[in-house]
Amino acid sequence: MNIPKDKYIRVNQLRLHYLDWGKGGDKTLLLLHGFMSHAHMWDNLATELSARYHVLALDQRGHGDSEWSKEAYYSIDSHFSDISIFIESLRLEKVIILGHSMGGRNALFYAACAPEKVERLILVDARLGNNQDASKALRRQLASLPLKAKNMDEVTEAIRSLYPYLSIEMCRHIAKYGYRQSQDGWFIPKYDTKMSSQLEKSEYTTEELWGMTKNVTCPTLIITGKESPFVSLEEAQRICMALPRTTFKEIPGATHMPAQENPKAFKKVVLDYLDGH
């Protein structure tokens, strides 16, 4: 099994952590996790793809082992600046970016602003605008995951209740890298909870990205979970209409995290797409 190296880089006065699976090929695949998540979400997929690609997974600001913004700057512009400097600092050219949810939105925004840097785009259950169902699902996600837990089993069970298609092993994996034990013994999230407060104040809405789609020039793969509460089939089709050279795939037995809920089907879809281009 290919074990990634933990690496750090200084970006916008923040120490950002990322995982590097080594140069398995000439092309670079950058993986961007979703909100409240972390780079280790991609461990299984990255291990599979690291024989063909140089796979990198970034802990975005305020998540995982990356530093939190003292000013609570977590807008899509802040993420864009981080990703831009990250890619420039590592001298990456023609990157393939795969992003989930928030990471997918950040990926699309980057591809729209720096189209010459992106060879292909893979957006996983990433909404481009707002709707009541997605806001409700986000509110439920925030309410379901504990801010304080007595032990990791409590965290694991909370994740499993939210995503019943996840294996117990994957739930433990997500909890292991998503929580840490504080000095008083409680287990607390490794993401900056100020982001949760910001979302609550905005009534769980996010920036509208529909206007950015016209600037995306690379081929794009849209993936959703068949039972996703965040991105409906109708919205996914609308995204496909808005982007050029788009392929759409729906993963059965999955909701908002198809890469982790149905890893076998997800890996096949991604590999078929990459091999087909």
C-alpha distances in Å from residue 45, one per residue of 39, 73, 88, 123, 200? 11, 30, 25, 15, 32
Per-residue confidence (pLDDT) for residue 2, from 0 to 100: 81
Query: Which helix (H) or strand (E) segment is 95 a member of?
Result: strand 95-100
Confidence of residue 80 (pLDDT cuts 50, 70, 90): very high
Q: Which two tokens stand for residue 242?
A: 């808005």
**Mean per-residue pLDDT of the chain:** 96
What type of residue is 219? P
- By CB atoms closer than 10 A (0-12, 13-18, 19+), residue 169 is exposed
pLDDT band at 146 (very low <50, low <70, confident <90, very high): very high
Q: DSSP letters along the chain, please?
A: --PPEEEEEEETTEEEEEEEEEESSSSEEEEE--TT--GGGGHHHHHHHTTTSEEEEE--TTSTTSPPPTT---SHHHHHHHHHHHHHHTT--SEEEEEETHHHHHHHHHHHH-GGGEEEEEEES--SS--HHHHHHHHHHHHHS-SSBSSHHHHHHHHHHH-TTS-HHHHHHHHHHHEEE-TTS-EEESS-THHHHHHHHTTT-----GGGGGG--S-EEEEEETT-SSS-HHHHHHHHHHSSSEEEEEESS-SS-HHHHSHHHHHHHHHHHHHH-
Contacts of 246 (CB under 8 A, 6+ apart): 219, 220, 221, 222, 239, 240
CA 37 to chain centre: 7
pLDDT exceeds cutoff 80 at 1: no
81 contacts 111 by C-beta, under 8 angstroms: no
pTM of the predicted protein model: 0.97
Distance between CA 125 and CA 256 in Å, rounded? 6
Q: Which of 274, 19, 255 is nearest to 121 (CA)?
A: 274
Mean pLDDT (whole number) for 198-211: 93
pLDDT digits (tens, 9 = 90+) for 109-133: 999 999 999 999 999 999 999 999 9
pLDDT digits (tens, 9 = 90+) for 172-191: 999 999 999 999 999 999 99
Predicted pLDDT at 172: 98
pLDDT per position as a tens digit, 20-78: 999 888 899 999 999 999 999 999 999 999 999 999 999 999 999 999 999 999 999 99
Could you tell me the domains of the chain? 5-131+207-276 (3.40.50.1820)
pLDDT of residue 244: 86
3-state secondary structure 154-181: HHHHHHHHHCCCCCHHHHHHHHHHHEEE
Q: What is the pLDDT at residue 86?
A: 98
